[in-house]
Amino acid sequence: MSFRNTPLAVEHDAEDWSLLSPELCAEIDRHIAKYPEEWRQSAVMPALTLVQDANGGWLTRELMDAVAAYLRMPAVAVYEVATFYGMYDLEPQGRHKVCVCNSISCLLRGSEELIEHIEKTYDVKPGETTADGRFTFKEVECLGACRHAPAVMLDKTYHENLTPEALDALIENLE
């Protein structure tokens, strides 16, 4: 059977993905198994998420290269994914990530107020980490929680209908 637009497969040696632990490879394999063998590259997003989580919340170029090797895809195709989507970070992050949605529903429901509040209260601009390393503040595109705007994703947990006071309470609980 042939597939139109079958992605370009790039062969690598096993040492090219030696940065990935056997446990990580096993987790990535679970995602690869969801697709036909020639489409193993389709697992690139969960693979990057797993690798990022294992690396303290950010991706190095070497790790992206290792993902490319493991998925048999060109490195540049992995860079394209990692730089396009806001959930991937290419620089060291704080111990937590506070991601405030700045898309239309949340803007109409007060996310600008949340953003200004964070900037003033914690002395960080979007993309920056607090001086104590507690969290990195990110403005992000629609989180898909528009119905309960304004929405914030704190690490991997959604919080909705937030006020500055409610957001402070969440941040205060961060270690």
> Which residues in this chain contact ligand FES in the complex, by CB under 6 A?
101, 103-106, 142-146, 149, 151
CB of 1 to ligand FES, least distance (A): 39
Beta bridge partners of 97: 136
Q: Which is nearer to ligand FES, 9 or 104 (CB)?
A: 104
Distance of alpha carbon 138 from its chain centroid, rounded?
11
CB of 170 to ligand FES, least distance (A): 16
Q: Which is nearer to ligand FES, 93 or 103 (CB)?
A: 103
Neighbour tally for 125: CB within 10 Å:
10
Q: Which is nearer to ligand FES, 66 or 151 (CB)?
A: 151
Q: Which is nearer to ligand FES, 79 or 158 (CB)?
A: 158
Nearest residue to 113 via CA among 52, 40, 164, 42: 164
Distance CA 52, CA 60 (A): 9
3-state secondary structure at position 137: strand
CB of 147 to ligand FES, least distance (A): 8
Name every residue whose Cβ is closer than 8 Å to that of residue 83 and which is 6 or more positions away in sequence: 90
CB of 105 to ligand FES, least distance (A): 4
CB of 135 to ligand FES, least distance (A): 19
Phi and psi at residue 10, to the nearest 5°: -115, 120
Q: Which is nearer to ligand FES, 102 or 130 (CB)?
A: 102
- Paired tokens of 46: 């969960």
